Amino acid sequence: MWGAPFLLGLLTSIAGIVLLGATFFTSMVTVFFIGMMLVIGGVLEIIAAVRSRGESRGAFWSLMLGGVLTTVVGILTVMYPAAGLASLTLLIAGYFFASGLFHAITSVMDRYFQWGWDLAYGIISVFLGLSVMARWPASSVWLVGTLVGLAVFFRGIFMMSGSLVLRRGIRHVQA
């Protein structure tokens, strides 16, 4: 009962290590995937606009324009993956910076329980955001692939640890 999730977690962790070894390839596949999801989402939004045409004129135009924009951005991302990767890298860097700034400021202002950890997270995130921005566009080559690889690796670790907790629980119930 616990062996299959453990094996799946092990294979997922191995896949994460492989992805970390090929960060540029991982980055490009991720950008292609995001582009295709944008295209699919945009087309579905256009379909929703056409289907809601008789209900509300404002909803129709909102859905239609949003769908067209999403589809065009998706197509451009797939056609020009390097530009899409550079844009995604800037977006992530901006997120790191803004999120870190928010955490740092709120932790100092509110001084809640263990606020120092949140302050440390904020400072590290601001530094990471600034570092990625300072090295942009060269940071585009490795950032997205590294983040995806780490996410897959740690997902596998969490799956394995969850299966071991399940194993422990099963043994406890049987005893």
Q: Please report, as a single letter, which amino acid is at residue 6.
A: F
101, HSE (Cβ side, Cα atoms, 13 Å)? 8
pLDDT band with cut points at 50, 70 and 90 for residue 1: confident
- Establish if 1 belongs to a structural domain: no
What's the pLDDT score for residue 54? 76
pTM, 2 dp:
0.74
Is the domain of 61 the same as that of 132?
A: no
- Establish if 43 belongs to a structural domain: yes
Domain hosting residue 144, numbered range: 81-165
Is the domain of 85 the same as that of 151?
A: yes
- Establish if 70 belongs to a structural domain: yes
What's the pLDDT score for residue 121? 92
Is the domain of 45 the same as that of 90?
A: no
Contacts of 27 (CB under 8 A, 6+ apart): 85, 140, 141, 142, 143, 144, 145, 148
What's the pLDDT score for residue 65? 94
The percent of residues in the chain predicted with pLDDT above 70, rounded, is: 99
pLDDT band with cut points at 50, 70 and 90 for residue 173: confident
What's the pLDDT score for residue 83? 92
pLDDT band with cut points at 50, 70 and 90 for residue 157: very high
Q: How many domains are there within the chain?
A: 2
Residue that terminates a domain, selected from 79, 94, 126? 79
Residue that terminates a domain, selected from 60, 79, 98? 79
